[in-house]
Amino acid sequence: MALVTRCPSCDSTFRVNAAQLQARGGEVRCGHCQWVFNGFATLITVNESAIESVSQFQSQSISEPEASTESLLAVATSPGNAMDLPVSPDWDQATIQTSDHLFDDEKPDNQSRGWGLANALLLLLLIGQIAYAYRTELTIIAPEIRPYLERYCTFIACTIPYPQDIKQLGIEASDLQKILTRQPEVTSMQATIRNHAPFPQALPALQLSLLDAHDQLITSRIFTAQDYLLDQDKSLQFIEPYNEIEIRLDFDSSQLDALGYRLLLLYL
């Protein structure tokens, strides 16, 4: 690569040497219009091949053998404060335009496209990781995107657990009674569970505690959804938002003298 500077007054261009510019603080004098300017301010780099091609053109145009391109492009020094630059009128605009074209050609277009594609892939990977890690939370924020997340999970072999906010579940009604007409030893528990959340929720577990006449605990047991769901609801996996389900528990209480009970919803 070669160093080239341009006169801001007449736009003539000259090949320069960094060491010579530094020796004079960058001050140079144009050999064409005698304007003194800072060579560092308009300094650019040009491929040697561009200069050689221009040099060949100039060599064909000059009749005197001693007026070679090297003498036109070489930097002339003088004892003054500014470095004198030789006149090179045939090289100014052609060389600068060629150098700009070379700079354009040197841009790594393929490499830039490759980096762009790599960045896009990394962004998609990051979005996928976030979607996987917070897939349940995303269904709470935007329940309508669950079908799309389920398709995504089908692709990567994962599942999307339903939210479990126990504070937004409630027992709206319950009743415990013995079935005297059929099996006196069987007690039936019926209750209504409501989901107060604006999003679907996983079916909770149910803890039933039986109490004696003094409200002392006799026994306690935890039932899963498959224990308390009615036959027609066995396929349910969640409770719809702002919806409720009816449940029923039948159990043998022949050895228990229970007069009271407590129901508690929980997630295991």
**Domain span including residue 61:** 2-106
Confidence of residue 82 (pLDDT cuts 50, 70, 90): low
Of 170, 173, 174, which Cα lies nearest the Cα of 194?
170
Task: Provide, rounded to the nearest whole percent, the portion of the chain with pLDDT above 90.
Answer: 26
Burial classification of residue 96, based on how many CB atoms lie within 10 Å of its CB (0-12 exposed, 13-18 middle, 19 or more buried): middle
Query: Which residues are within 8 A (CB) of 78 and not within 5 positions of it... i.e. 6 or more apart?
Result: 84
| Shared domain check, 201 and 123 | no
Beta pairing, strands 83-84 & 44-46: unpaired
* Bridge partner list, 178: 187
| Shared domain check, 91 and 116 | no
pLDDT in tens, 148-172: 888 888 888 888 999 999 999 999 9
pLDDT in tens, 9-34: 888 888 887 777 777 777 888 888 88
In a domain, 77, yes or no: yes
User: Domain boundary at 106, 123, 144, which?
Assistant: 106
Structural domain count, the chain: 3
In a domain, 90, yes or no: yes
Of 6, 87, 90, 86, which Cα lies nearest the Cα of 46?
6
Give the per-residue pLDDT at 77: 37
Give the per-residue pLDDT at 182: 61
pLDDT in tens, 121-143: 898 888 888 888 888 888 888 88
| Shared domain check, 117 and 209 | no
Read off the tokens for 32. Answer: 């064409």
| Shared domain check, 102 and 6 | yes
Backbone angles phi, psi at 164, to 5 degrees: -135, 75
In a domain, 175, yes or no: yes
Query: What CATH number corresponds to the domain at position 216?
Result: 2.70.50.60
| Shared domain check, 129 and 198 | no
In a domain, 39, yes or no: yes
In a domain, 161, yes or no: no
| Shared domain check, 114 and 100 | no
Give the per-residue pLDDT at 69: 36
Are 32 and 7 a contacting pair, CB within 8 Å? Answer: yes
| Shared domain check, 191 and 147 | no
Confidence of residue 57 (pLDDT cuts 50, 70, 90): very low
| Shared domain check, 171 and 237 | yes
Give the per-residue pLDDT at 18: 76
Indicate whether 246 pLDDT > 70. Answer: yes
Of 194, 208, 202, which Cα lies nearest the Cα of 243?
194
| Shared domain check, 42 and 19 | yes
Indicate whether 94 pLDDT > 80. Answer: no
| Shared domain check, 177 and 149 | no
pLDDT in tens, 196-242: 999 999 999 999 999 988 889 999 999 999 999 998 998 998 999 99
| Shared domain check, 138 and 85 | no
Indicate whether 78 pLDDT > 60. Answer: no
| Shared domain check, 87 and 27 | yes
